[in-house]
Structure 1
Amino acid sequence: MNAAQFENVTQVFGDFTAVDGIDMAIPAGKLTTLLGPSGCGKTTSLRMLAGYTRPTAGRILIDGVDVTRTAPEKRGLGMVFQSYALFPHMTVADNVAYGLKLRRTPRAERDARVAEALELVGLAHLAGRKPKALSGGQQQRVALARAIAIRPKLLLLDEPLSNLDARLRVQMRSEIRRIQAETGLTVVLVTHDQDEALEMSDEMILMRAGKIMQQGAPAEVFGSPKNRFVADFLGYENFVRTAGGLVTVRPEHVEIVPGTVSPAGGLALPAIVTDVAYRGVDQIITVVSRDDGGEITLMSDVRADAAPRVAVGDDVVVTAPESRLISIEN
């Protein structure tokens, strides 16, 4: 069952097409990420779902109902922005209660929902504090609690972790995932970070230039990228043109063999080492080789304690088993 659906949705700003005729399904009770580089259309898609931007063409449905022309406040959605947008003069509890007051929720129920939401994000003990007295991670949790308190049909998160430091981002990934699992909320999260999407998603939607490149479960998309853009965005690095077409292979599945003798089966290309980078646990070896299209650069990422003894300028063979080669579209 889908909580939301885009049907041939297009969004044009002047001469720029931000979203180009996409069909997209958001499964109910799951965490779906809209992933892609800047300008790919993911935030515009989220804003159209929220109702802040009306599509140039197409329909948007929530719970099977056409909401294309429905005002944002009537869609029953919660949203957390990149900036959190907390009211500095209000306490944490009053910030969380704000949406409930707008909906004229009775006082007793409002207080109960605020307490429940703050307990869920682990901030019940800070209900009386002002936002300026909180850390960035705590402010983000308050924004989450405020969105959750209204019990939305969908919870929309627009790059919610981008203002946090690396340690807090990792922590909040787990927190958001826990909250989604405990509440059963349908969550749509916009991010440009593939690691974030892979770790948090039930469903990933990878976009480029206003179009959907691939949609599916993280393991499905990561394990079977459809085209070069998806593979490159997800870190495959190595692309080789063969008689059968274009294939890709991840650096950790590439082995560098010293010398010039090619093993039988799979990928086997003569190459010259151009760089050896030791990173403690692993070692990255970069080589230059040739395929059916000309000169190419390939990378191997292996555990340092098992890495071959090679140096810049050495003749080597790049190998990978047939089972690790993935055929893709250009």
Structure 2
Amino acid sequence: MNAAAQFESVTQVFGDFTAVDDIDLTIPAGKLTTLLGPSGCGKTTSLRMLAGYTRPTSGRILIDGVDATRMPPEKRGLGMVFQSYALFPHMTVAENVAYGLKLRGTGRKERDARVAESLQLVGLGHLAARKPRALSGGQQQRVALARAIAIRPKLLLLDEPLSNLDARLRVQMRAEIRRIQHETGLTVVLVTHDQDEALEMSDEMVLMRAGRIMQQGAPADVFSAPANRFVADFLGYENFVSTADGLVTVRPEHVVLVPGETSAAEGLALPGTVRDIAYRGVDILTTVEVPDGSEAILLRSHVRAEEAPRLTPGQAVTVTARPRHLIALTD
């Protein structure tokens, strides 16, 4: 795997708070990598260290194999798009996109060509003469993206770029960023707290917690085999059960409820009581209370309506799942 950037034993400490804790990370070239996790997990600090806005307390950051740990941001050849698009209100769209090129001394002819190319790529060539105030939020986001792309960066860094958009625009822009990444072959690093965004957009997903990397890999690999309870919980797994072999999780769509009591030669078979049934048109979400040692836990089964057994609250059932759907976890 060719590396566009690497973190080697990188730590960042602010006072008595460790924001990033001795991480090793490889950003593959030509891929879209997401740094995912809750607030305070260290993902934005990692991005800022990669961009050069924050210097690591210890460790090294390499860009294209070159030690960039002490290199200033303007020497790293990176493009960045923030949550706030930071467009200049007095400049036109074209002038905003050209700004980084002018700072780099790019000639007028090449500058105009790159601006036109970048605006065409984001679908805004027809708005080159507009001012930012005349654009929608989604269009402003595209201008910021075009400005970052125009300088032909080694890496494109995106810090929660979709968080200020409404739900419909976020979904649209996910697809647009993926399209642009595929068409250009850019290496992109995206910071997000949204697991759906990361799963949909990533080639490589890095899930962080308390400054450490919990798991890294292709989205399908991480989702199908979470390394621990934190990863499983963050990615939407809801059912956690203590067994003789340790903690396991199972997705609601893999839980089958059998009326009455039954046993299973293998897999999961737990006695329970139906507590709630939520009919949602094409599917049904059933919540079952199951004894778990000294206390009860709630497990959920999510199945298509036509495949669901006819159950009622208070009814005794057996919660079952096949062995291949049980995922062993560490705490």
TM-score range, shorter chain: over 0.9
2:314 maps to 313
Partner letter of residue 49 of structure 2?
Answer: M
Cα displacement (A) at 1:171: 0.6
- Residue 97 of structure 1 pairs with residue 98 of structure 2: yes
What does residue range 1-330 of structure 1 map to in structure 2 within 5 Å? 1-291=2-292, 294-330=295-331
CA distance in 2, matches of 1:124, 1:249: 48
CA contact (8 A) 1:262 1:270 kept: no
**Where does the alignment leave 5 or more consecutive residues of structure 1 unmatched?**
none
CA contact (8 A) 1:81 1:159 kept: yes
CA contact (8 A) 2:285 2:302 kept: yes
Cα displacement (A) at 1:294: 4.3
CA distance in 2, matches of 1:161, 1:262: 48
Partner letter of residue 286 of structure 2?
Answer: I
SS at match of 2:311: coil
Cα displacement (A) at 1:237: 0.7
Compute the RMSD of aligned alpha carbons.
1.0
Cα displacement (A) at 1:265: 2.5
Task: With the length of structure 1 as denominator, give the TM-score of the two structures.
Answer: 0.98
Post-superposition Cα deviations, 1:51-101, rounded to whole Å, max 9, x if no partner, equal 001111111000011111110111000000001111111100000000000
Aligned residues: 330
CA distance in 2, matches of 1:25, 1:318: 41
CA contact (8 A) 1:243 1:292 kept: no
Distance 1:293 1:323, change over 3 A: farther
Cα displacement (A) at 1:292: 5.1
Cα displacement (A) at 1:248: 0.8
CA distance in 1, matches of 2:286, 2:53: 48
SS at match of 1:55: coil
**Where does the alignment leave 5 or more consecutive residues of structure 2 unmatched?**
none
CA contact (8 A) 1:238 1:299 kept: yes
Cα displacement (A) at 1:157: 0.2
Task: With the length of structure 2 as denominator, give the TM-score of the two structures.
Answer: 0.98
Cα displacement (A) at 1:262: 3.1
Q: Which runs of 4+ in 1 moved over 2 A?
A: 261-265, 290-295
Cα displacement (A) at 1:293: 6.9
Cα displacement (A) at 1:281: 2.1
CA distance in 1, matches of 2:259, 2:166: 41
Cα displacement (A) at 1:127: 0.4
SS at match of 2:90: coil
Cα displacement (A) at 1:273: 1.2
Distance 1:249 1:293, change over 3 A: farther
Post-superposition Cα deviations, 1:193-223, rounded to whole Å, max 9, x if no partner, equal 1110000000000000000000000011001
Post-superposition Cα deviations, 1:168-190, rounded to whole Å, max 9, x if no partner, equal 11110000000000000000000
CA contact (8 A) 1:258 1:315 kept: yes
Partner letter of residue 88 of structure 2?
Answer: F
CA contact (8 A) 2:262 2:269 kept: no
CA distance in 1, matches of 2:278, 2:77: 52
CA distance in 2, matches of 1:264, 1:167: 47
Partner letter of residue 125 of structure 1?
Answer: H
CA distance in 1, matches of 2:62, 2:93: 33
SS at match of 2:112: helix
